[in-house]
């Protein structure tokens, strides 16, 4: 196991321990998910949802839950004035990938909870291909984590961080939103993964491109 990998895991472990103590991201995203799902369930009632509507509702939850919890990974360090310690002790590579690992795990947990609640309370969702929805959600979670990690690094030293996170995140995530809505809609309609191979490959390519560009950009941000 390389030294860089060990350092990245150590950064992620530090964030997990910090989150377990403060529970800011967990509480914020958990409350957001609970409120949104409750509002949707009571607002829709017994009306039948179409697959595109289900896809749109899922993406609204994914996006705003992500902005609420994932876009603050570097902001925490800046607010607690621990960012300087990281700069002194570690290079940019383990810090970036450690934060990415933490955000990816948090995104998977949050979006998994969203899907679970939708499946429990909305029969229209459970009528689709659950496996397809879950696999697509996993891929979308990777893309969200990659995009919001670099957004967090960019806005960490800004004064209006809350407003900037959504503003910066939206254009970066827009290609993933377009692909995600299409794939989730097909999954809700009962389609299998075999009919969306092209979209899955494009979503995977999006993750690779965002991570690669973010790695280069973060190295420049870290040296400033």
CA 162, CA 173: separation in Å to the nearest integer? 17
The predicted structure's pLDDT at residue 155: 82
For the ranges 35-39, 57-61, 208-212, which has the lowest average pLDDT?
35-39
> Are 128 and 38 spatial neighbours (Cβ–Cβ below 8 Å)?
no
Structural domain boundaries of the chain?
Answer: 3-223
The predicted structure's pLDDT at residue 145: 94
Tens digits of residue pLDDT in 82-113: 777 888 888 888 899 999 999 999 899 989 98
Tens digits of residue pLDDT in 106-143: 899 989 988 888 888 776 665 567 888 899 999 999 99
Residue 28, pLDDT above cutoff 80: no
> Are 12 and 95 spatial neighbours (Cβ–Cβ below 8 Å)?
no
What radius of gyration do the chain's Cα atoms show?
Answer: 18
Residue closest to 41 by CA, chosen among 164, 123, 147, 138: 123
Of the ranges 75-84, 108-117, 160-169, which is most confident? 108-117
Residue 158, pLDDT above cutoff 80: no
> Are 162 and 137 spatial neighbours (Cβ–Cβ below 8 Å)?
no
Can you tell me whether residue 160 is helix, strand or coil? Answer: coil
**First-to-last C-alpha distance (Å) of the chain:** 30
What is the reported pTM?
0.88
């Amino acid at each position: 196991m390389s030294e860089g990998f060990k350092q990245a895991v150590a950064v992620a472990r530090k964030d997990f321990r910090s989150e377990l103590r403060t529970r800011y991201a967990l509480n914020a995203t958990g409350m957001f998910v609970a409120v949104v799902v409750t509002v949707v369930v009571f607002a829709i009632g017994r009306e039948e949802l179409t697959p595109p509507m289900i896809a749109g509702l899922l993406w609204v939850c994914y996006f705003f839950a992500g902005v609420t919890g994932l876009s603050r990974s570097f902001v925490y360090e800046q607010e607690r004035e621990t960012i300087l310690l990281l700069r002194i002790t570690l290079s940019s590579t383990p810090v970036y990938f450690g934060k990415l690992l933490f955000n990816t795990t948090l995104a998977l947990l949050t979006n998994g909870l969203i899907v679970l609640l939708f499946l429990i309370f909305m029969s229209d969702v459970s009528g689709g291909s659950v496996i397809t929805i879950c696999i697509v959600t996993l891929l979308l979670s990777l893309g969200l984590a990659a995009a919001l990690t670099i957004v967090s690094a960019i806005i960490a030293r800004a004064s209006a961080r809350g407003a900037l996170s959504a503003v910066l995140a939206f254009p970066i995530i827009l290609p993933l939103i377009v692909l995600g809505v299409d794939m989730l809609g097909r999954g809700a309609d009962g389609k299998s993964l075999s009919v969306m191979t092209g979209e899955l490959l494009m979503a995977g390519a999006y993750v690779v491109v965002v991570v690669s560009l973010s790695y280069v950009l973060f190295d420049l941000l870290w040296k400033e």
